[in-house]
Chain A
Amino acid sequence: DAGITQSPRHKVTETGTPVTLRCHQTENHRYMYWYRQDPGHGLRLIHYSYGVKDTDKGEVSDGYSVSRSKTEDFLLTLESATSSQTSVYFCAISELGGNGELFFGEGSRLTVL
């Protein structure tokens, strides 16, 4: 199994509070992604990174920011959590980008009350 861990795995927070999810990999893969799981939509891309300090927006990036200061860590921050951000968040890594398979973390379940 690819070495990818997400933390925390579960979090309950209140509307308006900031939240940071961490994705850590031991595979030295260049590409890292944050997806959210939404019923009927499968997985939707929030942000991705193609190298240290190189990030770009995905299809649902509003209300989220990311940082990647070293190869192994990709942080997702909800600046001011809203109930619509209640979801399961998956981090994924890839060595080759679009034409290489993604390896997913176990997911982080976030509930915003």
Chain B
Amino acid sequence: ILNVEQSPQSLHVQEGDSTNFTCSFPSSNFYALHWYRWETAKSPEALFVMTLNGDEKKKGRISATLNTKEGYSYLYIKGSQPEDSATYLCAVFNNAGNMLTFGGGTRLMVKP
């Protein structure tokens, strides 16, 4: 079982603030990293899937980077809005376990 860790567990920011959070994972046998956005009472929705070291992906105000050699990924949100309030999950797939393993999530709350 992979150990996928996310930090912080929760985060409160003001509207307009930019923020970032971290996903850490074992770098051995890495295959892919996923980021999901999970709003309360809804289902998780995919933001990004990244596979290559140095990958950077962007969707609107949200972007992500990947470092497979040191085993971490950052998710950035520029100019947070109340509608960004959600739990952000990362998940890692590696060749050894053939499973997608999720971290515990970072819960983001954006105050108007």
Contacts and interface: CB of A to CB of B under 8 A. Distances in A.
Interface of A: 33, 35, 40-45, 48, 56, 58-59, 90, 97-107
A98 B46 contact: no
A99 B93 contact: yes
Contacts of B6: 42
A54 to B, nearest CB: 12
Given A101-B34, A104-B44, A105-B43, A43 B102 contact: yes
Interface of A is mostly: mixed
Contacts of A45: 99-102
Interface size class of B (residues with CB under 8 A): 20 to 34
B13 interface: no
B105 A42 contact: yes
A101 B49 contact: yes
A40 B46 contact: no
A100 B103 CA distance: 18
B71 interface: no
Contacts of B34: 101-102
A99 B52 CA distance: 11
B43 A98 contact: no
B98 A98 contact: yes
A35 B45 CA distance: 14
A97 B95 CA distance: 12
